[in-house]
Amino acid sequence: MAFDPVLYDDIIAAFTIDTEHLHQAAAAFRQDMRLGLTGSPDSSLRMLPSYLGLPTGEERGDYLALDFGGTNVRVLLYRLAGNGKYEMLSHVAKPLKVDGVYDFIGAEATGEEMFDFIAGLVDEVVGGDHETPYLLGHTFSFPSSQTNINNARLIIWTKEFAARGVEGEVVNDLLRAALVRQGLSNVTPNSVINDTVAVLLSAAYIYGDTKIGAIYATGHNTCYLESYAGTANAPMILNMESGGFSKLVPNRFDIALDAASEKKGEQRLEKMVSGRYMGELFGMALAELLGTKEHMHAFTSVDISRILEDVNGDAQSAASIVETATGQMLSAEDAVCVRELARTIVVRSVRLIAATFVGTLWQITGEGEIRPQHIAVDGSVYEKMPLVKETMADVFAELLGEDAPKVDTILASCGSGLGAALAAAMVERG
């Protein structure tokens, strides 16, 4: 079969964003930031305070870090040596669920059981040392309300978590009680941060000149250092929950995906850009081309990556992946078209995220001049997906002009752990 060329061109156009619309997206994002800072309900950005600024580079000492963002939990012991230098002294990583063995995330489990398990990991990392005082920073990547650096109350479990007795509770209180039961009254949790904030802290410590941090993986979020220029407020990292940005014009596939999602009308940007949804958008578009809209073809961001990694003229990987998912064989010509469709969906994702970065840069800069700086990004899509880094640079060139060489993106893959340790150190220093 051969794809309908008119339909194919229409689908490609639906996922293509020109420079004018890119500029509009960046400006709309900055406007939402400014509205969010005033507490306006018209903003789709939450602008959540982290209660932390940036590290000074003077952070030194041994600190524990708990990285709790999903099924796999990590506990690490870092030695901070200042000036961006650090050493990981020990670490343990274990899943909270092993089929047929134990399950601390399901509805049959309690929060007490879950945190007792985590306290056991802390005990393992410190080698059973119940005497040496340790401060612990906690990266907790679930929706929480926070009133200070150590007070994060879980609003609702996500990511299939259902353990009882945690929603509505202050997570570090649960952790502290578990540590005491473990005999670890020498370990004091003193901070809770979001994973995006952790990325920014770690990058700013190592590289300096970093005021924006982001996650670009299954989900998407960005934080930045708000200077609060012209106010008496001290500069603070704000977690924008930018995946919820809604001031974009969705195409028909975005609208259909949102309508079929569990939380309609929410996380509109995330549904257009993140790894969780790339495969779904690709599958919906491909179904139109194949004339199989009544069937939902399952694709993942890993499939998209594999398609793009194949640069051969016949796009055999694209043909093979499509055949596995749909049962339909493609001609070499159509396989090349499928690869171009995957490329267009990825490029749109990157362009939209880069536009939000530019909007954030404009907010940071104000009426001044953009200064040389890094944007720290962690996540599998940023790290592994073809086309991401070069497309980011292209957008900066489009929107920033001669200032574009001043800005680059860097991978901050150690962020969640190191950022938590830095938070503990920064709180201690006051």
290 and 385 both lie in a single domain: yes
Conformation bin of residue 68: beta by default, left when phi > 0, alpha when psi is -120 to 50: beta
Give domain status of residue 54, yes or no. Answer: no
Is the distance from CB of 3 to CB of 318 less than 8 angstroms?
no
Residues 79 and 113 in one domain: yes
Q: Convert the pLDDT of each residue in 220-273 to its tens digit.
A: 999 999 999 888 889 999 999 999 999 999 999 999 999 998 889 999 999 999
Tally of domains in the chain = 2
Indicate whether 73 and 39 sit together in one domain: no
Do residues 40 and 65 share a domain? no
Quick one: pLDDT band at residue 2, thresholds 50, 70, 90?
A: confident
CATH code of residue 265 = 3.40.367.20
Task: Please indicate, yes or no, whether residues 153 and 214 belong to a single structural domain of this protein.
Answer: no
Quickly list H helices, 208-331.
Answer: 252-260, 268-273, 275-290, 301-309, 316-326
Residue 86 DSSP one-character state: E
Q: Yes or no: say if 236 and 49 are a contact pair by the CB < 8 Å rule.
A: yes
Closest to 6 measured CA to CA, from 288, 326, 403, 270: 288
Angle at CA of residue 63, ends 59 and 66, nearest 5° = 125
Which candidate, 331, 336, 293, places its Cα nearest to that of 313?
336
Q: Helix, strand, or coil here: 79? A: strand
Looking at residue 1, what is its pLDDT? 54
Domain presence at residue 430: no
Residue 168 shares a structural domain with residue 21: no
pLDDT for res 142: 86
The burial of 383, by beta-carbon neighbours within 10 Å (0-12 exposed, 13-18 middle, 19 or more buried), is given as middle
Is residue 428 one of the residues assigned to a domain? no
Q: Please identify, among 147, 174, 193, the residue that sits at the C-terminal boundary of a domain.
A: 193
Q: Give the tens place of pLDDT for each residue, 78-115.
A: 999 999 999 999 999 999 999 999 999 999 999 999 99
pLDDT digit string, tens, across residues 381-423: 999 999 999 999 999 999 999 999 999 999 998 788 999 999 9
Residue 292 lies in a domain: yes
Residue 293: pLDDT over 80: no
Question: 124 with 9, same domain?
Answer: no
Mean pLDDT of the chain: 94
The number of beta carbons lying within 10 Å of the beta carbon of residue 159 is 12
Evaluate whether residue 425 is within a structural domain.
Answer: no
Note whether 217 and 259 are same-domain residues: yes
User: Residue 165: which H helix or E strand, with range?
Assistant: none
d(CA 318, CA 289): 14
Side-chain half-sphere CA neighbours of 370 within 13 A: 22
Give yes or no: residues 14 and 146 share one domain.
no
Residue 138: domain span: 60-193
Residue 423 is assigned to a structural domain of this protein: no
Q: Which long-range contacts (CB under 8 A, 24 or more apart) does 285-291 make?
A: 285/11, 285/14, 285/15, 285/253, 285/341, 285/345, 286/322, 286/326, 286/338, 286/341, 288/7, 288/11, 289/3, 289/4, 289/7, 289/8, 289/11, 289/337, 289/338, 289/341, 290/326, 290/328
Q: Could you say which of 170, 193, 216 is where a domain stops? A: 193
CATH number at residue 103: 3.30.420.40
Give residue for tokens 């061109």.
Answer: 9
In a domain, 272, yes or no: yes
- Per-residue pLDDT band at 294 (split at 50, 70, 90): confident
> Which residues have C-beta within 8 Å of that of residue 134, sequence separation ≥ 6?
62, 63, 64, 77, 126, 186, 187, 188
For residue 3, pLDDT over 90 is answered with no
Same-domain check for residues 317 and 393: yes
347 to 353, 386, 393: CA distances (angstroms): 10, 10, 12
* Nearest-angstrom CA–CA distance, 217 and 379: 4
Q: Verify that 39 and 71 share a domain, yes or no.
A: no
Residue 55 resides in a domain: no
Task: Decide which of 145, 173, 193 is a domain's last residue.
Answer: 193
258 in the same domain as 232:
yes
